A = this chain, B = another copy of it.
């Protein structure tokens, strides 16, 4: 008797940014698992069980979900943003690969969501309008030297850079070091966007030049977008500036 595990992206947090297929899957589940603040966004329904977890131990959480699905439950694993971007979908796949063979028979469905960089970008213009990359700044799962190498490679190659997991109590210095590294490779006026809780009532968005970017402007719920040398700022008289990365690059660039 094998059930189903649906891994669901809630988007950045605003209910109007949850896709209808995600809402339907949330309503259909018998058991909901996920990091407590994400789970708290999902309306309670009679007959549904829920098991909030902390934000560590992703493999343990994935394994618990797979075990319940293998026993026949319709299980929903709730994720912020998009589950495939530095979130639970990869942890579920990893647990399946290293778990008991019967987990490979579970019907796994992954429902995409609006990931943070898209929500933040939309609030300021189109900073991701040219080639871009997404990097998790956490060195819990990869060596810091590799993060540094990747930052240098993409900055030199002209990519816009979206940083996920930029800072936390346990990782207080990495974002500052990233800004310092990038300041050696990019013009001082390169726009940096700090986007927190995009689209939610407690939204906080700041745009500063790279030479003034300060790690203290971010917390663990912030997505930081660093422009390329081509990223532009358009001042506007009646509202916030627009930031965008032009689609075209001239041969001289």
Contacts of A131 in B (CB 8 A): 133-136, 150
Interface residues of A in 211-248 (CB under 8 A from B): 232, 234-239, 242, 244-248
* B90→A126 contact, CB < 8 A: yes
* B125→A248 contact, CB < 8 A: no
A85-B118, A118-B84, A142-B249 given as contacts; is B20 within 8 A of A92 (CB)? no
* A15 sits at the interface (CB 8 A): yes
Q: Report the Cα distance A130→B6, complex, angstroms.
A: 20
* A27 sits at the interface (CB 8 A): no
Nearest-neighbour CB distance to chain B for A25, whole angstroms, equals 10
* A158 sits at the interface (CB 8 A): yes
* B234→A122 contact, CB < 8 A: no
* A90→B122 contact, CB < 8 A: no
* A78 sits at the interface (CB 8 A): no
* A205 sits at the interface (CB 8 A): no
Q: How many identical subunits does the complex contain?
A: 2
Nearest residue (CB) in B for A88 is B126
A20-B15, A85-B128 given as contacts; is B122 within 8 A of A118 (CB)? no
* A91→B247 contact, CB < 8 A: yes
Contact partner, A133, options B105, B159, B238, Cβ 8 Å: B159
Contacts of A14 in B (CB 8 A): 21
Nearest-neighbour CB distance to chain B for A65, whole angstroms, equals 14
Interface residues of A in 94-108 (CB under 8 A from B): 94, 96-97, 104-105, 107-108
* A68 sits at the interface (CB 8 A): no
Q: Report the Cα distance A136→B143, complex, angstroms.
A: 29
* A133→B134 contact, CB < 8 A: yes
What 16 additional pairs, Cβ within 8 angstroms, besides A84-B121, A93-B242? A11-B19, A15-B20, A18-B19, A82-B114, A84-B128, A84-B129, A85-B129, A89-B122, A90-B246, A93-B125, A94-B247, A97-B234, A105-B238, A142-B249, A150-B159, A153-B154
Nearest first, the 5 A-B pairs at minimum CB distance are A90-B129, A93-B244, A133-B133, A89-B126, A141-B248
16 CB contacts below 8 A, A to B, read A14-B21, A15-B20, A16-B24, A17-B19, A89-B121, A92-B126, A94-B246, A97-B232, A104-B236, A104-B238, A110-B125, A133-B134, A136-B247, A141-B247, A146-B249, A153-B157
